[in-house]
Amino acid sequence: GNSVTQMEGPVTLSEEAFLTINCTYTATGYPSLFWYVQYPGEGLQLLLKATKADDKGSNKGFEATYRKETTSFHLEKGSVQVSDSAVYFCALTETSYDKVIFGPGTSLSVIP
Amino acid sequence: NAGVTQTPKFRILKIGQSMTLQCAQDMNHNYMYWYRQDPGMGLKLIYYSVGAGITDKGEVPNGYNVSRSTTEDFPLRLELAAPSQTSVYFCASSYSRTVDTGELFFGEGSRLTVL
């Protein structure tokens, strides 16, 4: 079945460092891909999305490109801030039925 | 602008007790979902609903029940609570099929402990 794999955390970075969180997926058909973010004590919220191959999603300085050839959707940010400390979830939509499949999440801590 | 509201935020249950987690949304969304989040496991779909009067099972429905009598409300019922149901529960909604837009709106979560 469809699934999402993410790099294991936790990830700890210094402020202004470059961030990459790897995400790969297995899917039939052509899913849409998403990154959700969960700040401490809150629910998840959509960070960015891409709906077809080679699309780039971006928001709040974060970017991810839908790579069909490598089945990947890696999240990047050029300079992280303490306020980016959160858990990041990669996700995809099932094309055969109406559901969102989430990866296990990657915890990010940014230290001053 | 309330969005998705869940109650209670925290609850401790004894084994065998029952309870209902409440979820309400004020965005007139047809689609609503219940997920559970376990450490290192991501989110697993318990039940979902595509409109009032229609519900369906997700990946992990055993031990739970839902109803959808109105567009706004989607309560999750736990019967005969077990320690394996200790988790954080999230309710979510969307205004269209997620295969079309993918955007889910989440509540703040309900942390349940079964002892």
Q: How far apart are CA A16 and CA A70, in angstroms?
A: 28
Residues from chain B that touch A102, judged by Cβ atoms under 8 A, are 35, 42-43
Going residue by residue through chain B (115 aa), what tens digit of pLDDT does each one get?
679 999 999 999 999 999 999 999 999 999 999 999 987 778 999 999 989 999 999 989 999 999 999 999 999 999 899 999 999 999 999 987 765 666 899 999 999 999 9
**More confident position, A30 or A65:** A65
Residue partners of B100: CB distance under 8 A and separation at least 6: none
Q: Which of these, B67, B62, B25, B65, lies nearest to B49 by C-alpha position?
A: B67
Which of A73, A102, A107 should we substitute to test contact with B (largest number of B Cβ atoms within 10 Å)? A102
pLDDT in tens, A68-98: 999 999 999 999 999 999 999 999 987 666 6
The answer to whether residues A26 and A3 touch, using CB atoms and an 8 Å cutoff, is yes
Interchain CB distance below 8 Å, B42 and A89: yes
Maximum alpha-carbon separation in chain A: 45
Report whether the peptide linkage leading into residue B8 is cis, meaning its omega lies within 30 degrees of zero. Answer: yes
3 state SS of B105? strand
The C-alpha of B82 sits at a distance from chain A's nearest C-alpha, in angstroms, of 23
Q: Report pLDDT for B2.
A: 76
The C-alpha of B44 sits at a distance from chain A's nearest C-alpha, in angstroms, of 8
Residues from chain B that touch A105, judged by Cβ atoms under 8 A, are 40, 42
